[in-house]
Structure 1
């Protein structure tokens, strides 16, 4: 390394200063007098230390972080953020509780047994059963109890148990052509053990002999005989009685006497009831003076199709059905099919009866399929079994609200013309569950117009149909109904405006 000697005028005692030029090649000092006494290393050392600090950067440890975060500013900020969080959380909780409280609750009604059960109307003398060796008709009914339970039937109305010449004096004996009294009492016991209640139909019996006139003593004697008869059958285990609105016994005074007797044998778990069946096309005048579903009569049964005394066309059946559905029901209704219905419409009418609000009463034979053979009469019909199971498990089909839907006749259409039979549609709703029932009684296929019901959701799932051939999801805008077909659809959407 080359050394440079600096000579400075002054005291020679100071000597000379040597500078190592090789260490700083950038500095070119040709004149020794101009060479600085101090070398400029400060700028280089500052950059060096900065790079050294960056190379050794590390995050704050826990102790250092606690020291910094423990300051008053951070504590104040954290307190405010925590307070804001809890305020927002409590606000959302209060809003949710308010919505739940203000939302109307679908309270399940406390139904009585005659509002829950499916009734089966049977004349033992007409019973066909080829798979039993029983000789009496009463015993054949006993043998069919498992079949009735498989259908979902819980109440059996027996008609024709008394002879044509029966009177109030001999109603404790049944028609001997049907069986014996011990066989009948055994039937009542077996029915109760199987969970099926027995109701005696006294309709069209001349309980008050009209030929004897209105002599007070005679009427008093007949009233006592009837009271004795009713008490006798109640002791045997009968769950109630049925009469017609055209019977002489159908009066407010008589029903009050009968009701007092029924209340004597009734309990909370075993209520005895009184039924009234409408025979005419319109209710008799006495019906409007009777408290139905109240203190006197539990069920008033109406025919869905009034008996016209002649066969009806599908259009006439549809018109009669729509008229019945449009009639506002004040009390818990009870329905039978009625008369004059063409055989090809029986399955569609069965779907209607089982999905209407109220208690369905099915007559013997109405549950059978058109193709069902006599050897299959002990097998539960698939359609009836499907309907009874759906009604038992779905609250909307059991006691939900009823909304009749109308088709917009102004829509171009979908296969519907002035001579065809329009479909019938209604909703059964309970809470957020909705069922759509479509019934087409016409003889030609009918495609629903895409805009026939804009308030309904577009999708649903098939529950059952008369052909038992519809399954899985469905789009309401693309349904094509077959002739004499009825369909039950469970809708997907919960928010429906009707």
Structure 2
């Protein structure tokens, strides 16, 4: 075969030699072909690179949320120690630290991640541990420091955090600091707020320096004959106010915090912090409502409440807690009763944080007025709308100072309120017993006044109670509801304990406790932890909100506050499909629904006074990526 430029030889064809290949490679035709292919390759590569960069730039970002801290993950549980469980041997009718430890498995099983322990400090018990005689010791009625360490270890074994009540505003008048301050012993001379009498009545009675009133009524000033001066007490006269204008006092209280941090405490709930400072000039407070029956409410407390420098003191406490947070956040919660827009200042800001959150009592406040879907909606939105950017919400439905949730909202709505509270963004805080719908107990003044006494040092004090929501925890239908086998409990047990108790609810097919446990479990899902909140009122009486995060199952809380049955169309909310599955329903609906049942969202029949939680696959509009 003849190829141009080459001569065929006899024999089989053996291919081109190396020199022949090189000669062909440099042929102008093949050079042009190779150049065109190379240009085409790099052009397509650059186009794909540009496209990839464009996609990265224009595609909506899916930011990975920061991991939540322990105090954000699970419900917190307030334990009122005197009323939780008597663990004494022999039993004495009072709850104590060993009793709490004996019930930790129950608390863990609820899905609770942290216990807030009301005061257990050494105290004459005039106000249940809020008049503290020694900030570094345990009241004998609650046990010993060894008992506390045992409780702390047992909680850590179960992964439960311990938040201790801290009372920075005042001490007991039996505290060593006060006793030495009365005697003007250095450095305690000005540890409390002392001042001279304004004058004396003709018969020699000293006149208080101003018109300041105690929260519990009467003058906020008490005359001390030994020191021959008045001291300030914004609460009981047995609770003299500490003087935070004295830097030694601030350091003393920081030392107290450090002491308990060293004992293994994970944080503090700080009581009555808005009262920490008073006007240096001791000016009279303006009259706000002289016709008010409550003496304290008659005045505008501009000189004794929420002074600006209170936040500076709390900031000092927060700095100390942050310094101790190497092995886990040490949390700071503040208790302040004030309008929401003012309360937000207690969060501080990003560069100067104060509280991890101030308690949100709005659900308690609204339940003492007209309860409706609209009022609950407004309560939730007021908090969320005022929340500073990046701040963490919280929800409190009850505590030891307010009537029980079942008494305020009605037993029918217990589960519904827990649904609302536990699945909203933020940390829910549950007062012990609210998980099973405990109710207020009728406690007469005589029963309260003549309750069992406690030996506290050389004197024997009588307890007094302000509240029917502090009666013993109802564990079973046995003697004293399983709280104590003593002949008498410090407050009487509610007579309904025979049917309303933990054991009966755990054994029942459906109960408040079982609803609560499922709600706590749902909090661990991505939609509840990091999802968006959308909330509406339908048909004037049904509160509905969704928690949605793309790529994960959504949750929807639906509560009917009306007595009558209402039919609602849930597809009016964004991302809600035509069908959902029932996740959990209130005990009032036990005969109307079944778990995991598929329902049509466009026509949901909601019986009166109850609620349910639905799960669904959220629908999102198809997104178009700009070219």
Normalising by the residue count of structure 2, what TM-score does the alignment of the two structures yield? 0.56
Does residue 355 (structure 1) correspond to residue 423 (structure 2)? The answer is yes
- Counterparts of 1:213-232 in structure 2, within 5 Å, are 219-232=246-259
Question: In structure 1, what is the equivalent of residue 170 of structure 2?
Answer: 206
Aligned residue in 1 for 2:205: none
Tell me, yes or no, if the aligned pair for 2:85 and 2:96 is still in contact at 8 Å.
no
Query: Do residues 255 (structure 1) and 314 (structure 2) align?
Result: yes
SS in structure 2 opposite 1:474?
A: strand
**Aligned residues of 1:246 and 1:279 also touching (Cα < 8 A):** no
For 2:273 and 2:357, locate their aligned partners in 1 and report how far apart those are by CA, in whole Å: 16
**Structure 2 vs 1, CA of residues 460 and 377 (structure 1 numbering), >3 Å: closer, same or farther?**
closer
| Alpha carbons 2:575, 2:618 under 8 Å: kept | no
Q: Which residue of 2 aligns with 1:183?
A: 147
Deviation at 1:449, TM superposition (A): 4.3
Deviation at 1:369, TM superposition (A): 5.2
8 Å CA contact retained: 1:439, 1:484: yes
Q: Secondary structure at the match of 2:533?
A: strand
1-structure distance, mates of 2:107, 2:250: 35
1:110 CA displacement: 2.1
- For the 8 Å contact 2:138–2:144, the answer to whether it is kept is yes
Kept in 2, the 8 Å contact 1:123–1:158? The answer is yes
Partners of 1:110 and 1:157 in 2: how far apart?
Answer: 23
**Distance change >3 Å, CA 117–CA 196, structure 1 → 2:** same
Equivalences for residues 153-172 of structure 1 within 5 A: 153-162=112-121, 163=123, 164=125, 170-172=134-136
Describe the SS at the equivalent of 1:160. Answer: coil
Residue 333 in 1 paired to residue 393 in 2? yes
Aligned residues: 397
TM-score (norm 1): 0.69
1:238/1:460 Cα in 2 relative to 1: closer, same or farther (>3 Å)?
same
Residue 66 (structure 2) aligns with: 109
| Residue of structure 1 equivalent to 2:263 | 236
Residue 288 (1) aligns with residue 345 (2): yes
Q: Select 2:376's aligned residue among 318, 321, 332.
A: 321
Q: Map 1:58-137 onto structure 2 (within 5 A).
A: 102-128=59-85, 137=96
Deviation at 1:388, TM superposition (A): 0.9
Name the CA shift for 1:387/1:93 in 2 (closer, same or farther; >3 Å): farther
d(CA) in 2 for partners of 1:216, 1:312: 37
SS at match of 1:288: helix
Q: What is residue 81 of structure 1 aligned with on the other side?
A: none
Q: Would the aligned equivalents of 2:73 and 2:523 in 1 still touch at CA under 8 Å?
A: no
CA separation of 1:372 and 1:100: change in aligned 2, threshold 3 A: farther
Conserved? CA contact 1:292–1:299, under 8 Å: no
Q: 2:560 aligns with which of 429, 440, 449?
A: 440
Q: Helix, strand or coil: the match of 2:114?
A: strand
Question: Does the CA contact (< 8 Å) of 2:436 and 2:501 recur in 1?
Answer: no
Alignment of 1:187-198 (within 5 A): 187-198=151-162
Q: Does 1:397 align with 2:528?
A: yes
The CA distance in 1 between the partners of 2:516 and 2:243, in whole Å, is 50
Report the Cα offset of residue 237 of structure 1. Answer: 0.5
Match of 2:520 among 388, 402, 412: 388
Deviates more, 1:234-243 or 1:325-334: 325-334
Superposition CA RMSD, Å: 3.9
CA–CA distance in 1 between the matches of 2:80 and 2:556? 34
Deviation at 1:260, TM superposition (A): 2.6
* Residues in 2 aligned to 1:119 and 1:490: alpha-carbon distance in whole angstroms: 24
What 5-or-longer segments of structure 1 have no aligned partner? 1-86, 408-415
Instruction: Quickly say closer, same or farther: Cα 1:265–1:471, change in 2 above 3 A.
Output: same
The structure, 1 or 2, with the larger RCO (C-alpha pairs under 8 Å, 6+ apart) is 2
Question: Where does residue 431 of structure 1 map in the other structure?
Answer: 550
Distance 1:288 1:245, change over 3 A: farther
**Corresponding residue for 2:29?**
none
Report the secondary structure of 1:305's partner residue: helix
Mean Cα deviation higher: 438-447 or 459-468: 459-468
Cα 1:95–1:313 change in 2 (3 A) is same
**Contact in 2 for aligned 1:306/1:320 (Cα 8 Å):** no
Other structure's SS at 2:435 match = coil
Does the CA contact (< 8 Å) of 1:168 and 1:226 recur in 2?
A: no
CA distance 1:491–1:188, shift in 2 (3 Å) = same
Cα distance in 1, alignment partners of residues 596 and 417 from structure 2: 21
Q: Is the 8 A contact 2:165 2:271 kept in 1?
A: no
Is residue 462–residue 488 contact of structure 1 (8 Å, CA) maintained in 2? yes
